[in-house]
Structure 1
Amino acid sequence: MPKSLSLDRFHLGACYYPEHWDESLWSDDLIRMKELGFSIIRIGEFAWSIFEPEEGKFEFTLFDRFLEQADANGIQVIMGTPTATPPAWLTFKYPEVLNVSMEGVTFQHGQRRHYNYSSPVYLELCARITREMAQHYKDHPAIIGWQIDNELNCEINVFYAEADHQAFRRWLEAKYGTLEQLNKAWGAVFWDQTYDSWKQVHLTRPTVSGSANPHQALDEKRFISDNTISFAKLQVDILRSVAPNQWVTTNGVFGHLDSHKMTDQLLDFFSYDSYPQFSTIYPDQGEKPLLDRKWGLSLSNVRGMSPNFCVMEQQSGPGGWVNRMEMPSPRPGQMRLWTYQSIAHGADMILYFRWRTATFGTEMYWHGINDYHNQPNRRVAEAGRVGKELQKVGGRILGKRYVAEVALLRDYDNEWDGELDKWYGPLTKQSELGWYKALQYGHIPSDMVTIRPGMESEQLRELANYKVLVYTHPAILRDSTAAMLQKYVEDGGILIFGCRTGYKNEFGHCRMQPLPGPAAAMSGVHVEDFTMINGTASPVSVRFKDQALDFWAPGFNDILNVHADTVEVLAEYASSYYEGKPALTVNRVGKGLVYYWGAAFDLALAAELLRQLPVTSPLAGWCKAPSTVEVAIRADVQEELVFLLNYSGETAQVKLSVETEELLSGRRLTGTVPLEPYGVWVLKKV
């Protein structure tokens, strides 16, 4: 079972940095937090030089004084281990702890996350500061848990220090045993890359073409993930041993880290840092962009690690560093909307980043709730509104699970391999977004499930909860995964594949069998030909056979050949040299169905498929809402709560055919009722 946050009350709070502020501000800050309904703060994650000002000399008095005040004000505390920012004395004395670029350039002290996970001396010093802090704070009445490090693999997620090359060799020896097996896995016979000594083996390095051996590059990402987890384990093991009564988590989802494995193996639950406005400054270029609403897709991924989770950093103001002022201020209501976006998707503890905007440093334009002047503002008032609402209804939300009948499937193999392999990698985000838009605009909640090799029995039970699974472009498709998915379909599930499915094995080698490889039997089709659709090719159209509907087939086209008499051709290509060939098929397998679409997915095609699938909105029959409104369900055995979130700056007219209680306001609603711009309702049908 996934590791999930379990609390006896809903916690709302903020990230706080007592070392940044004059001590005279602490008491007033804590009192005002309590008045807003805050009950928790995070501290300490960037304060190594405060805790250890000189090597081997430990000093806790500043944080002890602050913690005494926090406890007196009834504010609970998450303590961070400060290993994301090693102090200057450490990097000066031990420069081997610093990270290095692929080209061999050392990243110097300053900023953060400039260390590597493999340096023996850094591991030793991280273990020591963690142990000293754990021993000092293990019985502190204010501290309820620990956040290890901060945003592992943020800023940079590749590591090329000499210690990393050495650690990679050890990892490969453990994985493959012999150079013969390594050479086979890496296809090293190609271009004469065969190794006859482990000393010849490295992480990827600059090459003439700029492209690495793809199998080496895939193993590099797997190594980085395992090495990151090993670094985290060092701290977690100490905290478990020394401070067993305090829980352990960490925050953020970043590249080249299997956060699912890390959560399973190490954490009590996973925590996330939610900044929805990133999706507005980097919007998708397709039809009807979701903007900040798209952040729900990331929250769905987090929910796959911990169904109930913590948001350790919730956006509360405009964001930007001194060299990039990126985000405008949230409009009135948006901060509250984003908070309930996290709650609707499963968060049971939320901390705003940050209590007060820093007056110095790289993040002095990354705004918190309070501005520099420390006077009342609308963000403080909005946080207070949320605090009062959660004091009233947080207990009813707490512990309820998000409910969905549809799941999008992901896996780390394809995420990491697709970074280099442009024949399918870029298609995944496009297709996932097309599906997520169709689901969102159709008011159909969805989950994100990550396929976990070696956990097929457990995952099959999890997948059985869904009517429909969408696996957009699993180029790497293990035989064990294919067998699990076939069993899911035979038992009555519906599975949808996109182009480029099943042509690689777990090493990233192309299979010497008809495509889609291990998915061919269940899909009932072979790929007889294929072509890329890019800037030099004309768009290719597709027509459904039984209705006058035309769609585009973007990105890449698999031209299909039916090889099973149980297959029905739903649509054919309507242009290019393969006009008339199958583009979309469905095959009956046992009690279920397998769809194969020979292209990338967009909003139009995903929406059409949804209309044909046996899934309906939970609003059907009692509520109608505009497409600007997101629908989410959190439920337990006692009751079901329906979240409506309006992402528009315009009022949404919601039509209710049954009397419904709105929990946040306490009103009873029926008929046509306006939902305010950026407004939120939590509904319970009467």
Structure 2
Amino acid sequence: MSGDALRRLSGRLGGGIAYGGDYNPEQWPREVWDEDVRLMREAGVNLVTVGVFSWAFLEPRPGQYEFGLLDEIMDLLHAGGVAVDLATATASPPPWFSLRHPEALPVTADGTRLWHGSRQTFCPSSPAYAEAAGRLVERLAERYRDHPALALWHVHNEWGNHNAHCFCDTSAQAFRDWLRARYGDLDGLNETWGTAFWSQRYGDWAEVLPPRATAAVANPTQQLDHWRFSSDALLALHRREAAILRRLSPGVPLTTNLLLTLEKKVDGFSFARECDIVAVDQYLTAADPESHIGLSLDADLARGLGGGAPWLLMEHSTSAVNWQPRNIAKTPGQMRRNSLAHAARGADGILYFQWRQSKAGAEKWHSAMLPHGGTDTKTWREVTALGRDLAALAEVRGSRVAADVALLFDWNAWWALESDATPSRDVRYLDLVRAWYEALWSLGITCDLVHPGSDPSRYRLVLVPALCLTTDADAASLAAFVREGGHAAVGFFSGVVDENDHVRLGGYPGAYRELLGVRTDEFFPLREAESVRLSDGSAATVWTELVEPRGAETVLSFAADPASGGPVAGHPAVTRHAFGDGVSWYVATRPEADGLRELLGRVCREAGVTAAAEVPAGVEAVRRQGPDATYLFLINHTARDASVPAAGVDLLSGAAVDGRAEVRAGDAMVIREHRPTGTAAAE
């Protein structure tokens, strides 16, 4: 669906890639608006998001709707040739709502009620909020469904960013209703939650509560179900708004902006299924010197949410953000590289928060397309230059990213792995996913981050770095993939619990024992900052375990000397197993970066996976496939010029590339290659 909706959106924009950002004209006097539209045209902007935080202007008093300001800005943008992604404005209830409905304010696990004064100050289970938001969405849809500027509906904003979990009495009742629907009766709940432990058995539904602050470790399955419930409560609100828009404004696609790895609070796959176009926000972690790799991971996950279809980058920053401990400005050229990296990995729209940098409020130090300094600034010059670049890449729109590797990603596994009761606090979901992903990135290999329930048959290799929780069906799917000739690699502590966070008995790694041809008797997590040596001289950290091969061959062992090999010295650390017509690998520790890169390089070679291009370290290479050509994106994140084998035409400069692409330090190229014989069309 995402591909079809993006084609319609692109048609509204005159073809090509969407470019723009959040526009908040209510923050500025009327005389600024004309200048905004003029400068948008100068920068190449063709799409802006309007109304994200405008509820207090649209409904200044309960039931009193005023659309004059929005009417004027919609007309002005249309006259200026700028299309609108119109937000439903429901992410920030106005002060009158909180005053009238104090019971709708969210409550933390320790019983603290959070008051109005920021955004998303509402309980996701509040009937009053749902009704007020629904009324506003109806009025917006009725008024603007036929407006010529309207190209896309933007439902809410960053669902659950600040209020994913509420522990008030209303939420408690909603949680009980959700549990009844899931388990049917208290016997089912007690069995699933394992309430025989610590005398937690429930005899009446009124006794069941969210995992509020308590004296000791909370029930792990109760915690997991509360994560699921909280995500579903927000999803119900999304569906409510989406249903109104689809009923009153059919034919206009809708989306919402997901936060992906910035927050683990909602299940991105469930929200993506409810959108016509997948759209995400992505912000660099300033403290990370390799933040561009985290950017790529998010981009590949965004693509995975939509089944490989192109997607929209709804928000990122031109320079510094305002909410990290140290908000570091982007260096010259970094904004361009970031944006082109998203385009390389499937984004057909590049948008920012926000168009004009605010002069007041909590985000006044957050960068924007038009900064405080106006047009005589580095940022503005880079914004206008990027607009020209994206116009030159118009033909790339609709093409799909080529990837032979799938990396399984699951919010449920993330929630389970980071509950309060696990063998080591050093085993963190994103750390493990990022380590495996970074090894692939450094090898120039592109992967899709996909749900464990996805069909793996179109890939050569499936990676499972951190799937502690898995269902029987998903485990069987992976085993069938390998049995039929696929390759898979599985990381430690994967497959150990079922979907209810119950341990799979009979030895670890549980659901994957037969596939991997191993059985682990006991885990031996390492102490903080402790490391061990492997048989090839490389190092590993965080985790070891007592692995017994049962059909698998040992590829690497923990060093034989206990002083360097750790508590399971001499036992297998990495195994390889011929399973059916395919091959599976088990990685029973966390190799350091060089060792993991070498290991996954071997796994990829055996699976027949190759890089998009032969590139030196620090140069990103990704290929998008279209119906008539392929497009090789080369992005040089280093301070050194790079030479890469390639042939075609650089769309950014118009220069021919005859055998080698010379990518200057900090620069990028997008090379149109003729489509190789047999390459599938993108659409």
Whether TM-score is above 0.5 comes out as yes
- Counterpart CA distance in 1 for 2:653 and 2:303 is 27
Report deviation, 1:683: 1.2
* Correspondence for 1:571: 556
Asked if the contact 2:649/2:655 (under 8 Å) is kept, the reply is: yes
Tell me which amino acid in the other structure corresponds to 1:226.
D
* Correspondence for 1:309: 311
Q: Secondary structure at the match of 1:113?
A: coil
State yes or no: 1:654 paired with 2:643.
yes
* Correspondence for 2:479: 486
The partner residue of 2:656 within 650, 654, 668 is: 668
* Correspondence for 1:255: 264
Asked if the contact 1:653/1:672 (under 8 Å) is kept, the reply is: no
* Correspondence for 1:546: none
Q: Secondary structure at the match of 1:320?
A: coil
State yes or no: 1:233 paired with 2:239.
yes
* Correspondence for 2:562: none
Report deviation, 1:43: 0.7
The partner residue of 1:556 within 540, 543, 547 is: 543
* Correspondence for 1:221: 227
In structure 2, relative to structure 1, the CA distance for the partners of 1:447 and 1:619 (3 Å cut) is: closer
* Correspondence for 2:82: 75
Tell me which amino acid in the other structure corresponds to 1:371.
P
- Counterpart CA distance in 1 for 2:55 and 2:196 is 48
Alignment deviations for residues 211-257 of structure 1 (CA, whole Å, 9 cap, x no partner): 21101001001101111100111100000001113111000223231
- Counterpart CA distance in 1 for 2:3 and 2:417 is 28
* Correspondence for 2:672: 684
Alignment deviations for residues 599-656 of structure 1 (CA, whole Å, 9 cap, x no partner): 1243223212233232454455xxx4321111111112321111011122x1322143
Alignment deviations for residues 128-178 of structure 1 (CA, whole Å, 9 cap, x no partner): 001011111111110111111110111342211221111000000111111
Q: Secondary structure at the match of 1:529?
A: strand
Asked if the contact 2:268/2:411 (under 8 Å) is kept, the reply is: no
CA RMSD of aligned residues (A): 1.9
In structure 2, relative to structure 1, the CA distance for the partners of 1:171 and 1:330 (3 Å cut) is: same
* Correspondence for 2:445: 444
Asked if the contact 2:545/2:568 (under 8 Å) is kept, the reply is: no
In structure 2, relative to structure 1, the CA distance for the partners of 1:194 and 1:66 (3 Å cut) is: same
- Counterpart CA distance in 2 for 1:2 and 1:526 is 42
- Structure 2: tracts of 5 or more residues without a match: 560-564, 675-683
* Correspondence for 1:340: 340
Report deviation, 1:351: 1.6
Asked if the contact 2:393/2:652 (under 8 Å) is kept, the reply is: yes
- Counterpart CA distance in 1 for 2:129 and 2:405 is 44
Report deviation, 1:405: 1.4
Alignment deviations for residues 51-82 of structure 1 (CA, whole Å, 9 cap, x no partner): 11111111000111111111111110011111
Question: Which sits farther off after the overlay, 81-90 or 404-413?
Answer: 404-413
- Counterpart CA distance in 1 for 2:301 and 2:527 is 29
- Counterpart CA distance in 2 for 1:498 and 1:418 is 13
* Correspondence for 1:371: 371
Q: Secondary structure at the match of 2:534?
A: strand
Q: Secondary structure at the match of 2:570?
A: coil
- Counterpart CA distance in 2 for 1:273 and 1:619 is 26
Q: Secondary structure at the match of 1:399?
A: coil
Matches within 5 A, 1:417-456: 417-420=416-419, 421-423=421-423, 426-452=427-453
Alignment deviations for residues 355-401 of structure 1 (CA, whole Å, 9 cap, x no partner): 1110000011001122224333221121111212222221x210111
- Counterpart CA distance in 2 for 1:326 and 1:334 is 18
Q: Secondary structure at the match of 1:32?
A: helix
- Counterpart CA distance in 2 for 1:81 and 1:619 is 41
Report deviation, 1:403: 1.0
* Correspondence for 2:620: 630
- Counterpart CA distance in 2 for 1:427 and 1:88 is 39
Q: Secondary structure at the match of 1:146?
A: strand
Asked if the contact 2:153/2:255 (under 8 Å) is kept, the reply is: yes
Alignment deviations for residues 176-223 of structure 1 (CA, whole Å, 9 cap, x no partner): 1111111111111111111111111110011112x2110100100110
Report deviation, 1:40: 0.9
Tell me which amino acid in the other structure corresponds to 2:670.
V
Report deviation, 1:422: 3.7
* Correspondence for 2:39: 32
State yes or no: 1:413 paired with 2:408.
no
Report deviation, 1:19: 0.3
Report deviation, 1:552: 2.2
Asked if the contact 1:34/1:73 (under 8 Å) is kept, the reply is: yes
Asked if the contact 1:203/1:216 (under 8 Å) is kept, the reply is: yes
Question: Which sits farther off after the overlay, 426-435 or 477-486?
Answer: 426-435
- Counterpart CA distance in 2 for 1:674 and 1:327 is 33
Asked if the contact 2:443/2:611 (under 8 Å) is kept, the reply is: no
TM norm structure 1: 0.92
- Counterpart CA distance in 1 for 2:538 and 2:139 is 62
Q: Secondary structure at the match of 2:156?
A: coil
State yes or no: 1:514 paired with 2:507.
yes
- Counterpart CA distance in 2 for 1:597 and 1:408 is 15
- Counterpart CA distance in 1 for 2:370 and 2:472 is 54
Asked if the contact 2:303/2:345 (under 8 Å) is kept, the reply is: yes
Report deviation, 1:578: 2.7
- Structure 1: tracts of 5 or more residues without a match: 284-288, 453-458, 544-548
Asked if the contact 1:2/1:305 (under 8 Å) is kept, the reply is: no
Report deviation, 1:660: 3.3
Q: Secondary structure at the match of 2:316?
A: strand
Tell me which amino acid in the other structure corresponds to 2:441.
Q
Q: Secondary structure at the match of 2:235?
A: helix
Alignment deviations for residues 92-137 of structure 1 (CA, whole Å, 9 cap, x no partner): 0111111111111111011111111111111110110010111111
Aligned sequence identity (%): 29
Tell me which amino acid in the other structure corresponds to 1:258.
D
Asked if the contact 2:439/2:596 (under 8 Å) is kept, the reply is: yes
* Correspondence for 1:188: 195
- Counterpart CA distance in 2 for 1:633 and 1:449 is 19
- Counterpart CA distance in 2 for 1:577 and 1:24 is 71
Asked if the contact 1:515/1:526 (under 8 Å) is kept, the reply is: yes
- Counterpart CA distance in 2 for 1:133 and 1:242 is 10
Alignment deviations for residues 237-284 of structure 1 (CA, whole Å, 9 cap, x no partner): 0000011131110002232312211221x21012111222x2x32x2x
- Counterpart CA distance in 2 for 1:518 and 1:651 is 46
Q: Secondary structure at the match of 1:304?
A: helix
TM norm structure 2: 0.92
The partner residue of 1:594 within 584, 601, 605 is: 584
Report deviation, 1:424: 6.1
Q: Secondary structure at the match of 1:57?
A: coil
In structure 2, relative to structure 1, the CA distance for the partners of 1:207 and 1:172 (3 Å cut) is: same
- Counterpart CA distance in 1 for 2:129 and 2:381 is 43
Asked if the contact 1:80/1:147 (under 8 Å) is kept, the reply is: yes
Asked if the contact 1:435/1:602 (under 8 Å) is kept, the reply is: no
Q: How many residues align?
A: 652
Asked if the contact 2:651/2:669 (under 8 Å) is kept, the reply is: yes
Tell me which amino acid in the other structure corresponds to 2:81.
G
- Counterpart CA distance in 1 for 2:82 and 2:469 is 48
Tell me which amino acid in the other structure corresponds to 1:233.
R
- Counterpart CA distance in 1 for 2:214 and 2:325 is 35
Asked if the contact 1:221/1:416 (under 8 Å) is kept, the reply is: yes
State yes or no: 1:100 paired with 2:90.
no
In structure 2, relative to structure 1, the CA distance for the partners of 1:619 and 1:53 (3 Å cut) is: closer
Report deviation, 1:2: 6.7
Matches within 5 A, 1:106-145: 106-145=113-152
State yes or no: 1:331 paired with 2:331.
yes
